[in-house]
Each structure stands twice: as C-alpha cells, then as structure tokens.
Amino acid sequence: MLRLDIHDKLFRDAASVQSTYFGVLVNAAPISRSYYEEEYDPDKLNTPTCWSANTQTPSPDVPSHQRQSVRCMDCKHNIRGSGYGSSRACRFSQRLAILPEEDFGTVYQLRLPATSIFGEARDGNLPMQAYARFLKERDTPAMAVITQMYFDDDSPTPKLFFKPKRPLTEDELREAGDMINHADTIRAITLEFTPFENSKISPFAETDGFQSTKI
C-alpha cells in the first residue's frame, strides 16, 4: 500500500516531495484511536497495544490481556495529560484515501493526526471536519473536487489544513467514482491491524460531512 507521508511539514509520495499537495479525497474511514504502550514511532509499523475502530470500545481483535478498559471513555489513557503535554495517550486518527491530481489510478493512504481532524476554521484554514462541513453546506461531495492540502506554519508538529481548488471535470468524476470501492482504496482506509478484505462499505459517515455516491 502506498502512503502519503507528512513528516517534516512536507508531503512525500512515490514520485515527489512537496510543501502543498493536490488530490481527490475519494474515501475515508471513520475516526479511530490507538494506544501505544511504548513510545510511538511513526517510522515503524509496530502494532499498538490497544485500539478502537469506533472510538467507543476496544476493537474485537485486540487481545483481551491488552485491552486497557471496557469503554474508551473510562480509560485512563483517554484523560488529557496522559500523553505528552495536555494530550491524550490514546490518540485519535483518521485514514483517508487520496488520488493525486495527476494520476487518478493511484491511491495513497493519508493518516491524519487529531490536530488535523478537529478544530474550527481559522482565517479560512480548515481542519478535516471543518472542511467536510464546508463542503456539505454547499452540497458538494468531497470526491467531486480537487482538494488542496497544506501545513499550518504555526504548528510545531505536522498539522494539515484543507481547501477546494477546483471541481472535477465529468471525465475525472467518472474516474474518481470508479475508485471509491477499489481494492486499493479499501486497503488505504482500513485499520491495518484488522483483517478487512473485499468490503463494499463506504465509510464516509454522514456525521463527518462526506458524501460518496458512486458516479
């Protein structure tokens, strides 16, 4: 699976390194969360100690001896300050499936940290959920536009903002529609430590403000 890396406030895909990225948000997973007992290293594909695909309870495939709590809301790792600074030790994240503007046949996984998901618009800069609401208010599916992704220059860690660049052409819309349930797309939005093959689920939840009707 191809990943769109966002370390050092640069986007790195298989073909380029850029400070701003343009692509189609063709599908997305619901927000999930994960807790690493050891210090988290984004350069390693180590499995977390405990994780949740619904942010409410540990996923069924978490070994019973690794589950930190029955409910996420009661977990000590859900308390602000249990992680670095005022953060939670159990971190929220979201997986997006991205089609680069120049190649709709290639799917990249973009993993968003909590700072890129939550928060209000600020001077026209939109975190993911604010961007999703912005599009929904205009009856615009996320997969119907080229989205510009860029970094918050004021943040000490990689934090992304999103804004629409242009609508897709009819031909591009058909191409993007064909990729919604493509195997590479489903793989990109799947929690990697959970078996998930040949699913036809489209996890653009209404509460996230996405619409993903296949064209």
How far apart (Å, rounded) are the C-alpha atoms in residues 99 and 209?
19
Residue 191 lies in a domain: yes
pLDDT (0 to 100) of residue 38: 82
Residue 58 lies in a domain: no
Residue 42 lies in a domain: no
Residue 75 lies in a domain: no
pLDDT, tens digit, 9 for 90 and up, residues 139-172: 999 999 999 999 999 998 889 999 999 999 999 9
Predicted model pTM: 0.81
Residue 70 lies in a domain: no
Q: Which is it for the CA torsion 106, 54, 212, 12, positive or negative? A: negative
Residue 46 lies in a domain: no
Residue 84 lies in a domain: no
Provide the domain count of the chain. Answer: 1
pLDDT at residue 198 is higher than 90: no
Higher pLDDT among residues 43 and 6, named by residue:
6
Q: DSSP state, 189?
A: T
Contacts of 30 (CB under 8 A, 6+ apart): 53, 54, 55, 94, 203, 205, 208
pLDDT (0 to 100) of residue 24: 98
Q: What is the mean pLDDT of residues 194-204?
A: 35
Domain range for residue 143? 2-30+94-208
pLDDT (0 to 100) of residue 46: 72
- DSSP codes of every residue in 80-129: TTSSSTTS-SEEEEEEEEEEETT-TT--EEEEEEHHHHSS--BTTBB-HH
- DSSP codes of every residue in 1-30: -EE-B-GGG-EE-SS-EESEEEEEEEEEPP
Helix (H, G, I), strand (E, B) or coil at 166: strand
Q: What percent of the chain has pLDDT over 70?
A: 86
Residue 112 bridge partners (DSSP): 94
> Mean pLDDT of all residues in the chain?
87
Residue 63 lies in a domain: no
Under 8 Å between Cβ of 108 and 4:
yes
Q: pLDDT band at residue 84, thresholds of 50, 70 and 90?
A: confident
